[in-house]
Structure formats: C-alpha cells, structure tokens
Amino acid sequence: MILPKTSTPRWMIIVIDLFLSLFGLFFAYLIRFDLKADSKLIADEWEILSKSILIFIAVKFVVFYQFKIHKGLVRYTSTEDLRRIFFAVSLSSAIFVILGLARVYFFDGYFLFPTSVLLIEFLASFLLTTGLRFAIKLIYMESVKSKDQTERVLIYGAGVSGLITKRTIEKDTRMSYQIIGFIDDNKKMDKTRLQGVNIFHSSRLESLVKEEGITQLIVAIQNPNEENRKRILEICLKNNVTVNKVPNPESWINGEFSTKQIGKVRIEDLLGRKPIVLDKQKISSELKGKVILVTGAAGSIGSGMVMQIANYEPKLVVLLDQAESPLYDLQNELNHTFPDFKYEIVVGDIRNRDRMARLFDHFKPEYVFHAAAYKHVPLMENNPSEAILTNVKGTKNLVDLSKEFKVVKYVMISTDKAVNPTNVMGASKRIAEIYAQAANIDSETKFITTRFGNVLGSNGSVIPLFQKQIENGGPLTLTDERITRFFMTIPEACQLVLEAGSMGEGGEIFVFDMGESVKIIDLATKMIQLSGLEVGKDIEIKITGLRPGEKLYEELLAEEENTLPTHHPQILKAKTRIEEQKTVLLIDELIALFEDQQNENIVSKMKEIVPEYISNNSEFEVLDKK
C-alpha cells in the first residue's frame, strides 16, 4: 500500500478524530449492555443520549482543537503527539463528568453518560485515535523504504546501546535493513527476546551467518571483552560479513544517535588487547604539580603522552617540537579536550644545544619525556648524518642538560629496531640508549629507557599508508610476504611509558609486552576486507621487495640481554651489558663526524659503538666485519 506524499487536510483529520470518538462512545454502550439489548432498552437509552450527543461532539471538537492534535503530520506521529492526544481525551472525559454532575443537580436528574460508558469511551477513543496514527505511520514508512537489496543484520550487544541502535535503524526509511537478531556475550540472554527480536549467544555467530544469510554485523556494545570482539570480527571477515560499529555515546549529537554515525570497524579493533591497568596513584604522586617537558610533543607518541599526562594535574607541561603546524593542531585539541590544562608551546630543535639550555634554564623541568626522533628506516639509511644529529646529538643535549639542571627523571622512548640493529635508524637509537644509560651512573637524575615496537596509526606507519592506498583504489604495497611486526596502540604505548617511568629507579631499559607479532600481509588483507572490498578482485597486494636496512622480523631483546619481571605484567626490565667509558667517548667522536658528511665514516663508527649492528640489504653491508 502506497500513501500519498501530500499532507491530509487538517479539517479531515478533525472529522476523523470526532468520528473515532463517536465510534468509541457507541462501542462503550455496546460493552455496557454486553453486546445485546432489546429495542425498548435501546429506545430508552437513546432518549437520554440524544440530549447529550451534541454536547459530546462540541466538547471533543473544542478540546481537540485547543490541544492541536490535528496539527501534527500523521505519517510522522511521535511520542509528543501521543502525549497531546492523551491529555485531550483525558480533559474531555473530565469535562463530561463535570457537565454530568451539573445535569443531575440542575436539570433532569440524568448523567450525560453512565460512569462505565465514560471509562470505556476514554480507553476506546485514546486507542483508536493513536492506533490509527501509528498504523498510517508504519504503512508510510514501509511505502518509502529503500527498495534496494535488504541487508540481513545482526546487532552485537543486547544492552541499551544495542536497543537504541535497533530503534534508530527501524526509524530510518532510507535504510533497507532487516534486523535478524542480537548476539551477546552473556549466556543468560541466549534464547530470550528484546522488543520482539531474538537474542543469541555470540558463540552461535558462525552458524547464524550461514543459516540466516547474515550480510552485516553492527557492533553496538561499548566495552566488549577484547578477545570476544576479535573472535567475532575474525568470524565476520572469514565469512565476508560487513562489520560496522556504533560510536561512543559521547560523540552522539545532542545525545541522539543517527544511522549516519554508524562507521566501519578499524583494524585497531582487531589488534587491540585487554585494557591496561595502571598504578594511577603512583603516577599521580610523581607527576601532579610538576613541571614536565615533552620533546617531539606534536608527534604521534609525543601528543599521546601529553594527552595522558594531562589527566594527572601537572603544574605545567612544556610542549617542544620543531613542527609548527602539528603543534598548532595539538594546541587546538588541548584547548577543546582539557580547557584548564596548563601548558607552554615551544618551537625548537633538540639539536640546538643553546636553545635547549635556555629552555631548561627558563622552565626548569622536573620530568623529561623524550619522544623526538627521526624514525623512518629508508630515509635514515640514505641520511646517516641527520640520524646522528637528531637521534644521538639531540638526545645527548637533553641528557647533559637534564644532569646539569638536576631533572628528577628522564624517560627516553626507544624502539625495537634498536635491538640487533640492521639499519642506521635502529643503530642511532641504540647509541642514544647507551648514552642515557651511561649518564645514570654518576647523576642525581634517573635515566630510564622504554622500548616498544610499531604503534598503530602513528605518523608514517603502515596502517595510514595502507588506508590511503585503499582510498586510491590500490594496490597495497608490501615489501615481503614473510614480514612480521609487533603492534601496539598509541594509548597503550603512552600509558606504559608513564607506568615504566614511575617505577624506574634509573639505568633500566623497560621492554613492553607487544603480544604476538602480526604478518603484514594478513594486516593488509584484513584492512581491505574491513573496507568492504575483496583482495584480488577490488584491490591487489603488490610485493615490492625489502627496503634498505629493513628486517623481516623485529626483536625486543638482544641475545646478550635477558629480562626481569616488574610489578606490571606488561612491562619487563631488560638486563643489558654495561658499556665501558670508552664507548661513551666514541659517541662524541661519532657526533664530530657530522661535519665531514661522509656516510661511510659515520656508519663505520656506529658499527664500532654497536658491534651487533649488521646491515641488511644495504650499501653499508661492505662495512661489516667478516
């Protein structure tokens, strides 16, 4: 049935409402007489009613008109319309009672209508008036619904968010969705129903997909168990089921959720793990009321660190970076997210010692979180002098100034590429680690190093690259089918840095539990599937060959190192070899080589400082000792 698109005349709606009320009145009389009455009884009742019927119509008309129940568009009837109808019908009945009492005491001794008739008429009129409106609304919604192929949908999460998702989808006439059911991790909800829709335990997902022909899953649960979510998503990808998710309620516009906000699941949702539990009291005791310097503050890790630190009420956070535009973006984000957060932005370069000395002298930071670094392996392989200038000399400047200005703790962020390095970048970070560890020996400042692998979504990482390639139609470029990497989210990494920094006593290298390594080709395949595309059909994966200095597999510990547990299950302490003083002197010689700009001399000196540095797929392999 197709309803006309034009609005029904308002007078017609009033006539229909009055007709429904009259029908409700006569229906009430039928009920009162048990649906049977002889002609004499009917005649007697009509004699009484005939004097009241015009009053009935007049009262209904005036009240309905005053409450404007005819003004709303019937096909868009809402709970507000229902509220107005309820009060209009209730007021009409109240007026009939008052007029009935007046008739009894001042006229012929009869009520306008018997009490039982008024009660039944009230219910009948209300139900008929609202029922017709909602029936027309449903017919209209069905008539304008998208005629595209119907999506057979499961909603993951049978809680409040799931229920709101169901209602929102059903209200959106543009979406051709058929909600088959809910799935939930709570076994007690299995085989129950929610608003007429079946609830299934999540363990039944795979069979449901095959039996019911599910084409889409919407993740509506806000805080799912990470392992369960990963299992659910893996099943969907395996069976070509599109996966979308409902955003956090905080992002709903004016507290209301719209189907336009349903977005695609990110690859981070497949790689995430259990939330990290921090010793917030310990971290707060260290950072609250302190002046803190964050270098590389505009970068992925640096800005993530700032966001975490802001929760611990520092006295002041100095945001240091040479990247002007990203600093401006960070400033805007901080002003929006933490309006009372006290910070100072400094545009500067850690390689400029004089500039850094003035910064330390002016702000006198008590804690330093050093995240500034060059990190791209192929670029640093071609520019060893710049890697040394930033990653080694820049770190040395900060370490020396931290000692001079008696910083309480200096926490350096390193990388898994510093372990048995095969490239200039990894070796430069290992040399920075060595210098920071050596400085701890005779200093009041506690120098601490944290080491972890790739960070999901960080600037220049593989995931943004793959995403851009997908948006451009491919291909996704992969250096080798065998290549694997460890991954961690930005919040995870930053939280663990704070935890490690708070527990550190100086000289340690803390290694984070990165979970299982991930094959990059699997990552690429899943990202294509999450975009609703097929590998080989919509987008290709192209193997390009290993880049200079690139490893197939990353490591977190060198052979000479072992680990000791800490109080945090995701943080281990690496026990590293003690470097001799002559190694530190070699670092000064390495920095001095920057003036010559001779890459071979620079890399040779790096290999002398870090004997385990063996180049891989690089022009510098000739410098390795056979």
Burial of 230 (0-12, 13-18, 19+ CB in 10 A): middle
Mean pLDDT of the chain: 80
Measure the CA–CA gap between 414 and 434, rounded to whole angstroms: 11
The per-residue pLDDT for range 215-241, each reduced to its tens digit, is: 888 888 777 777 788 888 888 888 888
Q: 218 forms bridges with which residues in the sheet?
A: 155, 244
* 523 HSE (CA, 13 A, CB side): 29
The residue that leads in pLDDT, 514 or 387, is 387
User: How many residues are present in the chain?
Assistant: 626
Per-residue tokens: 87: 């009060």
Could you confirm whether 274 is annotated as catalytic? no
Cis peptide before 114 (omega within 30 of 0): no
User: Tokens 């001042």, residue?
Assistant: 106
The pLDDT score that the predictor gives to residue 3 is: 46
DSSP one-letter code for 391: I
Would you state the pLDDT for residue 241? 84
Residue pair 272/226 in contact by the 8 Å Cβ criterion: yes
Lowest mean pLDDT among 296-305, 452-461, 465-474, 551-560: 551-560
Mean pLDDT computed over 70-85: 63
Lowest model confidence (mean pLDDT) among 438-452, 499-513, 577-591: 577-591
Catalytic residue among 60, 166, 417, 526: 417
Q: Looking at the predicted structure, is the pLDDT value of residue 427 above 90? A: yes
**Average of per-residue pLDDT across 198-217:** 87
Can you tell me the distance from the alpha carbon of 401 to that of 619, in angstroms, rounded to the nearest whole number? Answer: 36
Considering the segment(s) 151-265 as one domain, its CATH architecture is: 3-Layer(aba) Sandwich (3.40)
Distance CA 245, CA 236 (A): 13
Residue with tokens 């890790």: 301
Q: What are the counts of helices (DSSP H) followed by strands (DSSP E) for the chain?
A: 22, 22
Q: What are the tens digits of pLDDT across the range 348-370? A: 999 999 999 999 999 999 999 99
At residue 157, does pLDDT exceed 90? Answer: no
**Res. 33: pLDDT tops 90:** no
- Tokens at residue 62, please? 């005036």
Query: Are 519 and 484 in contact, with CB atoms under 8 Å apart?
Result: yes
The domains of the chain are located at 10-144, 151-265, 280-454+488-514+578-621
Run of H or E including 589: helix 581-592
Residue 80 has pLDDT above 50, yes or no: yes
The residue-averaged pLDDT of 167-189 equals 80
Cα four-point dihedral sign 229, 232, 236, 238: positive
Beta-ladder partners of 542: 477
Q: How many CA atoms lie within 13 A of 187 on its CB side?
A: 1
Evaluate whether 302 touches 327 at the Cβ level (below 8 Å): no
Number of other CB atoms surrounding residue 243 within 10 Å = 21
For 328-343, how does the pLDDT look when each residue is reduced to its tens digit (9 = 90+)? Answer: 999 999 998 898 899 9
- Cβ contact 220:156 at 8 Å: yes
Instruction: Output the pLDDT for position 8.
Output: 60
**Which one is predicted more confidently, 102 or 399?**
399
Domains 151-265 and 280-454+488-514+578-621 share a fold: yes
pLDDT at 167: 80
pLDDT band of 502, cuts 50, 70, 90: confident
Instruction: List, in sequence order, the alpha helices (H) in 33-78.
Output: 39-49, 53-66
CATH architecture classification, 280-454+488-514+578-621: 3-Layer(aba) Sandwich (3.40)
Q: Stretch 118-124: mean pLDDT, rounded?
A: 77
